[in-house]
Amino acid sequence: MPANQQSFRNFTAQANPTTANSIPTKRVGILLGIGILFMPYIFSWFTLQKGYSSLARIVSLSWMGLVFLLYIPTIILNSRNTEPRNAATLTATTNTSTTVSSTPSESPKQAALRQATINFKWSKGGFGSVMEADFTIQNPSNYAIKDIEVTCTHFANSGTEIDSNTRTIYETVPAKGKKVVKNFNMGFIHSQAHKSGCEIEDLVIVQ
């Protein structure tokens, strides 16, 4: 082989290195680009795979760092806004608990007066000038009661309140029990009284 032809082949081999072992650079596709844009912490790591250019890696990792720097102030601001709300909620809860615990308990008299009921039937006696009533006093409380003060309010046919009577029934009603008092004299009554309503106004707890 002539020397000039051999030299030409060697030059060609040096000028055109073997391409069989070279790796083509991958392009960042549209979907991967969108993923890097909106979720850089997930998709930026794909550019570290073999085949992507250094520029693609630098851009994606820089974007990931920028998003991180922008996200930190948001976290700090939200945490500061949450702390006053939590403090306000804790204060409100504490105040509510204090209010409930500071409410005074019901006294035995208040409990008995609230629970006691009275039913009655009445009629006029003494030539229509005196109210006579049969009372049934119910005492569902845990306290025996006595000296029950009863007020009866009277109404005319028109519904107008025209009179009232207050008397004390000096009897004892046991706890969880009842007492029937018949023909109790409530005193003089208005001649035009047509309807009457009676209720317990006061009582005494048996000691």
**Segment 106-125, tens digit of pLDDT:** 999 999 999 999 999 999 99
Q: Which pLDDT value is given to residue 73?
A: 72
The pLDDT score that the predictor gives to residue 76 is 73
Indicate the fold that domain 109-205 takes in CATH. Answer: Immunoglobulin-like (2.60.40)
The pLDDT confidence band at residue 152, using thresholds 50, 70 and 90, is: very high
pTM above 0.75, yes or no: no
Determine the pLDDT at residue 184. Answer: 97
Q: Which of 106, 177, 179 is nearest to 147 (CA)?
A: 179
Q: Which sequence spans correspond to the domains of the chain?
A: 30-102, 109-205
